[in-house]
């Protein structure tokens, strides 16, 4: 669900970036194009395609028409984990009530910040699966979690514990048994743009904009063993429309909604 994609190297490729480019082309079954000193914009225009660039240390994804590339970075997860380790409150955990050994399904992985926090809490005895509808973004995040600086613990251990699956959420949920995952989590692209969240601009431009639906919520509630958690803009009507108890927070632009299985 991402259209025509080509893979190329950085502007001045070396053997490592060429190998990474070929790895991406093979994994995504798309065409490798030699850079030949051409700009990413020129390549995108010439081939009418999205472009994945293999650099020396990371992949970057240039979606057609996007103003900035998407690449993996742990983003807010790093300082969130430090706050949790200090015993500070984390609204995401207040909503999900995750504990060691639990299973967590993130229906909208994106850059993976919430899944990283979940992986830290559930530990090695638990499980975290992240779904991403855009195949290119799923590849970038999966590889980014694998390639990221291994000296940064416990962040690295959390990354290695997340299973990234390139699929659309409803299709995946339909294949799961009843009551098979402790917590199912949904964070669709907000109906309202939060201007302060500029670090998500590249993801918003490159990602799939799949809105919440009755079918999606129904399947999530069927699969969840304990609860379904929805993250949405604080003005969203989704909370009441789909039967979630909205956890309101002063000054927060997004709220969590919780549905608990009886």
SS3 per-residue string spanning 113-142: HHHHHHHHHHCCCCEEEEEECCHHHHHHHH
- For residues 19 and 99, give the distance between their C-alpha atoms in angstroms, rounded to a whole number: 40
Res 61 pLDDT > 90: yes
Q: What is the mean pLDDT of the chain?
A: 88
pLDDT tens, 159-191? Answer: 889 999 999 999 999 999 999 999 999 998 655
Position 65 scores a pLDDT of 82
Peptide bond preceding 154 in cis form (omega within 30 of 0):
yes
Residue 150 pLDDT grade (very low, low, confident, very high; cuts 50, 70, 90): low
Residue 202 pLDDT grade (very low, low, confident, very high; cuts 50, 70, 90): low
Residue 151 pLDDT grade (very low, low, confident, very high; cuts 50, 70, 90): low
The CATH code belonging to domain 5-62 is 3.40.50.10480
- Provide mean pLDDT across the span 230-258: 94
The alpha carbon dihedral of 196, 66, 238, 245 has a sign of: negative
Residue 82 pLDDT grade (very low, low, confident, very high; cuts 50, 70, 90): confident
Position 92 scores a pLDDT of 96
Q: What is the pTM of this model?
A: 0.90
pLDDT greater at residue 78 or residue 179:
179
Q: Where in the chain is the domain with CATH 3.40.50.10480?
A: 5-62
pLDDT tens, 113-122? Answer: 999 999 999 9
**Considering only the top CATH level, what class is 77-260?**
alpha beta
Res 145 pLDDT > 50: yes
Instruction: Assess contact for 128 and 119: CB atoms under 8 A.
Output: yes
Instruction: Assess contact for 90 and 117: CB atoms under 8 A.
Output: yes
pLDDT greater at residue 146 or residue 135:
135
Winning range, highest mean pLDDT, from 1-5, 127-131, 194-198, 231-235 = 127-131
Count of beta carbons in the 10 Å neighbourhood of residue 17: 21
């Amino acid at each position: 669900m991402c259209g025509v994609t080509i893979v190329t190297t950085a502007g001045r490729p070396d053997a490592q970036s060429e190998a990474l480019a070929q790895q991406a082309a093979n994994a995504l079954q798309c065409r490798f194009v030699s850079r030949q000193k051409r700009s990413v914009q020129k390549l995108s225009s010439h081939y009418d395609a999205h472009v994945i660039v293999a650099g020396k240390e990371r992949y970057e994804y240039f979606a057609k028409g996007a103003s900035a590339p998407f690449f993996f970075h742990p983003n807010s997860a790093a300082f969130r984990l430090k706050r949790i380790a200090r015993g500070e409150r984390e609204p995401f955990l207040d909503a999900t009530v995750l504990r060691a050994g639990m299973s967590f399904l993130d229906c909208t992985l994106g850059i993976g910040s919430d899944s990283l926090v979940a992986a830290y809490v559930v530990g090695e005895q638990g499980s975290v699966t992240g779904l991403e509808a855009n195949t290119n973004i799923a590849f970038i995040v999966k590889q980014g979690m694998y390639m990221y600086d291994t000296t940064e613990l416990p962040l690295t251990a959390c990354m290695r514990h997340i299973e990234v699956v390139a699929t659309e959420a409803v299709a995946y949920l339909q294949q799961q048994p009843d009551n098979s995952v402790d917590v199912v989590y949904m964070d669709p692209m907000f109906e309202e743009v939060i201007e302060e969240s500029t670090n998500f601009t590249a993801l918003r431009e490159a990602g799939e904009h799949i809105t919440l639906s009755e079918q999606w919520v129904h399947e999530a509630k069927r699969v969840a063993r304990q609860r379904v958690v929805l993250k949405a803009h604080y003005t969203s009507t989704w909370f009441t429309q789909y039967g979630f108890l909205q956890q309101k927070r002063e000054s927060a632009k997004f709220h969590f909604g919780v549905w608990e299985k009886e």
